[in-house]
Amino acid sequence: MSDVSDSKSWVDNKTLVISWLLVFVPVGLYGLWKGNVFPKNYKIGITVAIIIAFIIVGGRMVNGIHVFMLYPIALYLLWKSSEISKKVFYRFAAGWGVLALLTVVNGAMGSGGGYPSGGSCSAVMTKGNCTYYRDDNCNVIARQCE
């Protein structure tokens, strides 16, 4: 095994830590707290911001914002960094390709209820002096007119 004491660990590379935070939060948080590139108050602030964002998106780790906004930002940072090899960039890019394809396929397939996002179509609508009741499949199941 070669001596790696002279080489810089990924947790001590700010660009890689930020990229991992944008791409896959658990690995990014590990790098954030294990490395020494951010002061402790930044580590706390970033962690709190991630927890709040996680609560806002409903606990889902992968959604359209992540795949089509945050991941490309990470790829851009990796591409522009002189410290990151193109091999590392291409590995991240391949991961984005797979994730984007899975996100698009998952969104296209949808899940029930007539809504691509999988929500329920059941509702009560009023039009004129009539009230319509719909089921989960968007079918009108009852009508009441005055």
Same domain, 53 and 121: no
Residue 5 lies in a domain: no
Same domain for 23 and 91, yes or no, is: yes
What pLDDT sits at residue 39? Answer: 95
> Is residue 3 in some structural domain?
no
Average pLDDT over residues 29-43: 94
CB of 130 closer than 8 Å to CB of 122: no
What's the domain count of the chain?
2
Segment 24-34 shows an average pLDDT of 92
Q: Are residues 28 and 58 both part of a single domain? A: yes
State the pLDDT at residue 65.
76
> Do 76 and 116 share a domain, yes or no?
no
Q: What is the pTM of this model?
A: 0.63
Q: Name the amino acid, one letter, at 118.
A: G
Confidence (pLDDT) at 120: 65
Host domain of residue 51: 10-109
Residue 78 lies in a domain: yes
Examine the pLDDT at 77 and tell me if it is beyond 90: yes
Residues 90 and 141 in one domain: no
Mean pLDDT score across all residues of the chain:
81
